[in-house]
Amino acid sequence: MILYLDTSSLVKLYIDEPHSEQVRRWIDDAEILATSRIAYPEMLSAFSRRRGNGDITDKSFKKIYTQMNTDWPNYAVLDIDEKKAGALVIKHGLRAFDARTFGSSACASD
């Protein structure tokens, strides 16, 4: 099974949040983990905000950042076709980056 993880799901791998255990179970069942190229800076943004809010320490941030960079090459990273994603937003009423999955070159059929 190919499991697509959006940024919010990936964050749950590095910081315990509601549903983190569920995401980890899904990963255990997956053969391939996929995400969008935009997830990398989005995750760093989420972790930086958490550090800025005092939710995680500088030491935890560094550990998360190191682990994230170790894990990143193991993901099937999908590029986004922004024009195709934009057309899908209009056609299907998708919200913002919800279209990125379907606008990726690997997934799009429209």
Rounded to an integer, what distance in angstroms lies between the CA atom of residue 35 and that of residue 5? Answer: 5
- pLDDT value at residue 83: 85
Edge to edge, what strands does the sheet with 76-78 contain?
2-4, 32-36, 76-78
Q: Does the pLDDT value for residue 44 go beyond 90?
A: yes
- Take residue 12 and report the two structure tokens written for it: 């749950």
User: Range of 93's domain?
Assistant: 80-110
Claim to verify: residue 86 and residue 65 sit in the same structural domain: no
Task: Assign 109 a pLDDT band (cuts: 50, 70, 90).
Answer: very low
Rounded to an integer, what distance in angstroms lies between the CA atom of residue 20 and that of residue 12? Answer: 5
Q: Which pTM does this prediction carry?
A: 0.74
Structural domain count of the chain: 2
Task: Assign 94 a pLDDT band (cuts: 50, 70, 90).
Answer: low
Q: Does the pLDDT value for residue 62 go beyond 60?
A: yes
Claim to verify: residue 54 and residue 85 sit in the same structural domain: no
Claim to verify: residue 20 and residue 67 sit in the same structural domain: yes
